[in-house]
Amino acid sequence: MPLLGFSSGLPLALTGGTLQAWMSTAGISIHTIGIFTLVAFPYTLKFLWSPLMDRFAPPWLGRRRGWIIITQAALMLAIGAMAFTSPAQDLSAVAILALLVAFVSASQDIVVDAYRTDILRTDERGPGAGIFLVGYRLAMLTSGALALILSSYFGWQNVYLFVAVLLFIGMIATMLGPEPLERVAAPRSMREAVWGPLHDYFSRQGAIALLLMVILYKLGDAYAGSLTTVFLLRGPGFSVAEVGTVNKGLGLISTIVGAAAGGTLMARLGLFRALLFFGLLQAVSNMSFVVLAWVGKSYPMLFTAIAFENLSGGMGSVALVSLIMALCNQRYSATQFALLSSLAVLGRFLVAPTAGYIVEAVGWANFFTFTTVTALPGLAMVIWLRSQISACNNDKEEH
């Protein structure tokens, strides 16, 4: 799981922050760099082609691992090809290859998510999701911060070649990974691959309510996170260097620790109690920014708020991913996981544009109080749907 998480997280920055840094040093205009953010669209739309990966199986390594090795090999080639281009000399080639990397990376995410859904037993979902997220975050650090540092010494082309070679780590994990204990037949037609996942999901008791809970669960966390950096700069008045070091450095470490701790605790708590406890922590963590807004420029409070928010956020992510895995039918796990995970981040896209208006109207302290309140509907849904959560997770102790 950590090696596959590393493979999934590695390409993300190469079409995001790292590519933006490469284009900036090449003298590309800001508005052009802004347009390049559109190459991340495949991550949002990946559910559109996920039925293909449910329906068809390569003739090697099984239905999931076969697709994983194909996407990893394609990523290695596409990222390696980016190393032989230059934004200053052929921007269109960079754009095409970046879009290709994002598309193949999103495809890898589809099938890796399906694979861990199929391979992990009920009691392994929490720890598996936690250790997967640890690998994912370490990969983002590698292709993000480390790549930026290495570019100063070895150049951008060599950095992209280096990251391409690192995909061998994921390929080794794929080759050595086990097949699911229970063999599940693939959909018999494309019609079934498209409509089967929807019919299977919505035929369950409480399906729509569970869907709403998935959307609402991290809403407060996403709301607060949408303007955290701006708040730290314009609210208490920390410097850009301080925010970068603490918010990104300590934040990343705290997320990794939270994911690992959350996965470990889930093995004891069970899915329902983990969703409730970690969700409460997410809500309370937003109040730490209220305190920071009150006390002003305080370094101890800054460390506390960033560490608490990212720690609880990592734990909440593990619980939510475990829930999504529990909601998936192995026959359609690629499509169902892609759809549910897309809906899980829907709230972030819906509320983020309104955050600035709320801050201007009520101020920073009241804004973060409001984000805490927006976390409560998701927690209420968790309590209301306790029996459905327990049933989908096959957790007898919670019935």
67 and 135 inside one domain:
yes
168 and 274 inside one domain:
no
Q: Which domain holds residue 287?
A: 193-398
Tokens of 189: 């037609």
d(CA 35, CA 314): 30
> Which stretches in the chain have pLDDT values below 50?
395-399
Distance (Å) of CA 295 to CA 212, 281, 344, 361: 36, 22, 34, 20
**Which of 186, 203, 228 marks a domain boundary?**
186
Residue 266 amino acid letter: M
Buried b (16+ CB within 10 A) or exposed e, 78-106: bbbbbbebebeeebeebbbbbbbbbbbbb
Q: pLDDT tens digits, residue range 291-300? A: 988 988 888 8
The contacts of residue 28 (CB under 8 Å, 6+ apart) are 87, 88, 91
Distance (Å) of CA 99 to CA 6, 19, 151, 160, 223: 20, 12, 22, 15, 28
**Which of 116, 151, 186 marks a domain boundary?**
186
159 and 208 inside one domain:
no
Which pLDDT score, from 0 to 100, does residue 280 have? Answer: 92
Give one word for 252, left, alpha or beta, with left for phi > 0 and alpha for psi -120 to 50: alpha
252 and 113 inside one domain:
no
**Which of 186, 210, 237 marks a domain boundary?**
186
Q: pLDDT tens digits, residue range 179-221? A: 887 777 777 888 888 888 888 888 888 888 888 888 888 888 8
262 and 278 inside one domain:
yes
Residue among 174, 170, 201 at smallest CA distance from 115: 174
The contacts of residue 125 (CB under 8 Å, 6+ apart) are 266, 271, 322, 325, 326, 393
137 and 262 inside one domain:
no
Q: Check if the beta carbon of residue 128 is closer than 8 Å to that of residue 344.
A: no
Residue among 223, 229, 16 at smallest CA distance from 105: 16
Buried b (16+ CB within 10 A) or exposed e, 205-232: ebeeebbbbbbbbbbbbbbbbbbbeebb
88 and 133 inside one domain:
yes
139 and 197 inside one domain:
no
69 and 211 inside one domain:
no
Q: How many domains does the chain have?
A: 2
Which pLDDT score, from 0 to 100, does residue 69 have? Answer: 94
Which pLDDT score, from 0 to 100, does residue 352 have? Answer: 65
320: domain CATH number is 1.20.1250.20
Which pLDDT score, from 0 to 100, does residue 105 have? Answer: 92
Task: Kindly report the pTM of this predicted structure.
Answer: 0.80
33 and 149 inside one domain:
yes
112 and 15 inside one domain:
yes
Q: Check if the beta carbon of residue 86 is closer than 8 Å to that of residue 95.
A: no
Tokens of 15: 């079409």
179 and 276 inside one domain:
no
